[in-house]
Structure 1
């Protein structure tokens, strides 16, 4: 992996800063040997449910599985439609397709690039069963409008909270608004494992039990060797659960640091590098520092020359992906325009204010 003087995300630095706690977690699990279903799994599930303000948490193998298991647990299947914003990681739509349902793509708001509630309302039809509220870049979608909209139509509001660990809207944590929420603990997330991991949180005990059953080969109620329903293998392993418990203690502190870095970006970015807006009721955890730039090619060349890491989230909207093009109903101009101009700048709990200033200075040279 290429190391930049200013990395896009300093995973090695974050891990090193927590080395003693992570080493202890490793030694504890190795000592008792319960690598699958060890006590740390239940402990993390309880801690994370409490953190999100929900009653239940089910640890699973990754965030994509978490989304699919929620939909499967809700009974979503062939003939159903689920409303999905076009500006999201492909996993959101993949999870819908995996159930046999159809993703119904809608456009996003031009200022936040979050799903447009008016577009969601227009897309609801007789086959719609659920709405995906994707909390993108660290900011929750406008659940103040989406939740009552879903309730009026009798639809399940499912939160894709893969990028929003600790975010709030109207004082409520990500994961506590919809019928259930999916989290990814991919290493680069605000709360990241040392490998793949994910979780579902919900207040619904029956849904929690169904998801746990589906994720564990359909076992439930009859012992280890009886499989009540066709299931799958999607488990949070003990080592990752132990790591996540150790890192959860630092999540709010790391999120506050991200917010401070974003504030500094806002004060020093060139005027033609426009950051995304934040809803007045939203408290973002700034998973990504996304700006819209006039000339992305020139900007990325300058960042490369200065040894500054960058990313693009996402250069191809879901409805234009070859694998999903058959579900497109037509152009979605906001998402398509944004895809040509968005750029993700460095953001990490180890990043310094001086590094933000350096990034902004390089961006300033591009605009001259």
Structure 2
């Protein structure tokens, strides 16, 4: 770790920001889907849902246009609405919070563990009020969260668990009665360019979610074009996953284990290179995760960030805390652990096009930046 990086040009994979990791056949799959002429939910989406269910070992999966819509629908089917509250960490992307607000509910922000940046059962239990209808844990970085210890209490109070697993496709699925929402956005472990999926708890919930993602219409698009009418039975959004995106997702899923291995190897290279490094705390994702990113906590984060960006290294911050955002000011409360972490977290370059050598180079560059920032 003593080798200087300042005289060495920044590797291209470290310099650029993450982008979709494509295997090659995605373009042809998209073209075939376009030529088939089905631009909404069609046969590719049906196949993608079945293949996802098979891969995850679950009875059913409901594909949606994006994870934000998925969270919205999953909360709505659990009864979240005006007068209710959803317990949620502040340390997450704003896409986790906006569906709560859109449904007329109140986000009840809680602190996370300083080590994992994920919520723990004790904090959830302490935040429960008579208005609580759901808990929305965020699987930050891909780390599974175990809330099984408080499940009996949640059941007794009719409080549902909806997992924001946008960063956690491929990670070990949490045991227990949770509705899980995945993201297939551009830089996720599995991409459909844009898209998402919900793992429902029951067949009845799956049926409701399918209706809700189609504007509350009970019949499929294929059935509607063959008849003169249709029935709208309840609330809904335009939230289907187009066949073009599903076609990309199917190619990605077929080679997902390859990507999972690349991400795991890269994360381990970072962990080994930073082991014992002074002033750097690696946010652990655990042994059961397919890592989404590599986040460290460092003193003087803003200066370190600026130094590394000036040197062409694609670092970032994920994310500014939501309880301090103007849009959510009415629900602000003191969260000292979150607020401290917010000034220290730094995301290092992390995507499957990088190699372990790239990770080691970046780790050395981080230590140089820390030394320079302290002068």
Tell me the TM-score normalized by structure 1. Answer: 0.90
Q: Which runs of structure 2 are paired with 1:1-368 in the superposition (5 Å)?
A: 6-7=14-15, 9-11=17-19, 14-15=21-22, 18-19=23-24, 21-168=25-172, 173=173, 177-194=176-193, 196-220=194-218, 224=224, 225-269=230-274, 270-279=277-286, 282-315=287-320, 317-328=321-332, 330-368=333-371
Q: Which moved more, 1:265-274 or 1:144-153?
A: 144-153
Cα 1:299–1:132 change in 2 (3 A) is same
Structure 2 portions without partners, runs of 5+: 1-10, 225-229
Aligned residues: 352
Q: How far does residue 303 in structure 1 lie from its aligned partner after superposition? A: 1.7
State the alpha-carbon separation in 2 of the partners of residues 297 and 87 from structure 1.
17
- Deviation of residue 114 (structure 1)? 0.3
Shift of 1:123: 0.8
- RMSD, aligned α-carbons: 2.0
Q: Is the 8 A contact 1:265 1:356 kept in 2?
A: yes
> 2: distance between equivalents of 1:336 and 1:25?
45
Q: Deviations over 1:81-114 (max 9, x none)?
A: 1111111111211111111111111110111110
Distance 1:96 1:165 in 2: 22
Larger Rg: 2
Q: Is the 1:312–1:344 Cα contact (8 Å) retained in structure 2?
A: yes
CA deviation after TM superposition for structure 1 residue 53, in Å: 2.6
Contact 2:211 2:218 in 1 (8 A): yes
* Structure 1 Cα separation of the partners of residues 198 and 264 of structure 2: 26
Q: Is the 8 A contact 2:65 2:240 kept in 1?
A: yes
- Give how far 1:202 is off: 1.4
Deviations 1:264-306, CA, capped at 9 Å, x for gaps: 1112123311101345xx5121101000011213322332233
1:9, distance to aligned residue in structure 2 (A): 4.2
Measured after TM superposition, the shift of residue 167 of structure 1 is 0.6
For 2:263 and 2:269, the matched residues in 1 are separated by 10
TM norm structure 2: 0.88
| Deviation larger for 219-228 or 253-262 | 219-228
- Report the secondary structure of 2:14's partner residue: coil
SS in 1 for 2:158: coil
* Aligned residues of 1:62 and 1:198 also touching (Cα < 8 A): yes
* Structure 1: stretches of 5+ with no match in the other structure: none
Q: What CA distance in whole angstroms lies between the structure 1 residues aligned with 2:81 and 2:240?
A: 22
Indicate conservation of the 8 Å contact 1:54/1:203, yes or no.
no
Distance 1:102 1:367, change over 3 A: closer
* SS, match of residue 232 in structure 1: coil
C-alpha contact 2:285 2:291 (8 A) present in aligned 1: no
Higher mean Cα deviation, 340-349 or 70-79? Answer: 70-79
Residues 158 and 178 of structure 1 are in contact (CA less than 8 Å); yes or no, is this contact kept in structure 2?
A: no
Q: Distance in 2 between matches of 1:256 and 1:361?
A: 23
